[in-house]
Structure 1
Amino acid sequence: MSINYTPTAEAISRRDAEDRASRIHDQDEAVALLKSADRNSDRGLGFAIRRRATMFSWDLTGQTNGTLANDLNTEFRAIVTAHKAYGQGIRQDLDARAVSAEYAKDLMEAGDFAHRLDTVLERAVTNRDQAVKSFEGTIAAITTPTGTAEQQLLVEIRAGRVWDRLTRELDVIKDPASAMSLITTRILTADPAELSVIVSDAPSYLIGRGLPNAKTSIVATLAQSHPAVSKAYDRMNAAERLLIGARSNHRRLTSRIVAVPSSYKVEPAGTELKRSSSYTDLTLIK
């Protein structure tokens, strides 16, 4: 006796959600679709999107480099303002001889301004690292086969055959630049099965042929044919520029903040104390 299985409405809904999520190849698209799913209380779709985002290291918070830059600028300014006010209070106590110079140093160190600067910088580092993971994940999302385990296996077998044929073509090309040109053409016209093997195997092949920048060239070509890769690449570069600006501020301010406690010492005349330097060259992160 045979048993006819009829999928339940819940199973169909879950399958549809997985199918919709599997077609997402871009972090921004994932963020937008997740917002829609949450508005409609579509938990199944939301779960599928979050799982795919985790798989490809996409950030679903919706934070942009622009909003983070504004946050970091605000935090750096707040630290400068707090440091000045804190130092001025200790300065007044020193002038009034209410505290000793040694105790003033202890008070400044207790302010822990260096740690606050480190915390701000860590946000920029984390953002850059996340952008790199997201960029790599976007490429993986485009080149990773979908479907059942059997379908994925068939795609991988086909991809291996594609690469075998392509390497035979490449091996007879004597000029490495011409070999790079052939691969570039294939990337622009490849279907997902071809694309996955070209992106994964071509860089090491071309490097072995004397093209050390092959991976960069392949990624640039991939960005031409896939807007999602282009956007992720731009986001990664913007995150790197943001980190450079944050490091500049961290370096300048740390040297001054650390120097302030040791500057609270009596001048030779014994009547004046050294003053802290200004903060006029604070870099505005963009």
Structure 2
Amino acid sequence: MLPPQRHTLILERLRRDGQVRVTTLASDLAVSEMTVRRDLGILAERGDLVKTHGGATLPGGTTSSEPGFAHNLGVAADEKEQIARLAAERVHPGMSIALNAGTTTHTLARRIAHVPGLTVVTNSPRIAAVFDEGGTGQTVILTGGIRTPSDALVGPYAVHTLRALRVDICFLGVHGVSPEGGLTTPNLLEAETNRAFIDAGASVVVIADHHKWGVTGLCQIAELEAADVFLSDAGLADAARDRLAESIDSVIRAGEHPDAAATQTGENE
């Protein structure tokens, strides 16, 4: 196989799975690991991928890059709406829920703002404002803390508040999702606060669009197994869905019936 053909196949695999491993590529392409590393180096120089230890990921900035809320709000807006519709089906009057700061959770907040009798715990002033405008008798608990570039309130005050609470469902937005990194964020204090969100939830539902797959932030929030449910948009590749299902009990894409998703996953095992 000629180098351009290998490069095309490597990029196709990368777009499908979010990351690639040198050992796997060498076996699948029937070439040496040295050849694969050389191919990855060429593709990295072109800006098509980012080399990592033992493989490569999609380009998406450094592990510590932290775009602001306004920037992220316009990214993958359609996908976030798909996920918000899916997540909103789990929210019922009178429930207690937690929403960590983020644009996907903000999209969900707008969709459930008129559900009566909710108790909402959040570290996002923007999300708190959404429910304040809803006017249907929700109770909103806003943690204190230090504001980050993503408009999250984090740090000891936020963690102290969350450790005193227990909610029915924690909806968790994340910066990145990968088999090796788990659930990640670029911000150290945000990672600590998000771990407290996970501990507060009787059920943890991660909501992340397919662009987050294969992305790794500087700080790990938790392993994939910390999630009970993973909700994504229809663009999440089958291979990514199947890999997530190895660690998470329920992985559902927008437009996909939960029973059908479970059946497909079972067929692939």
Instruction: Give the TM-score taking structure 2 as reference length.
Output: 0.26
Rg larger in 1 or in 2? 1
Higher strand share: 2
Structure having the higher helix fraction is: 1
Give the TM-score, by structure 1 length: 0.25
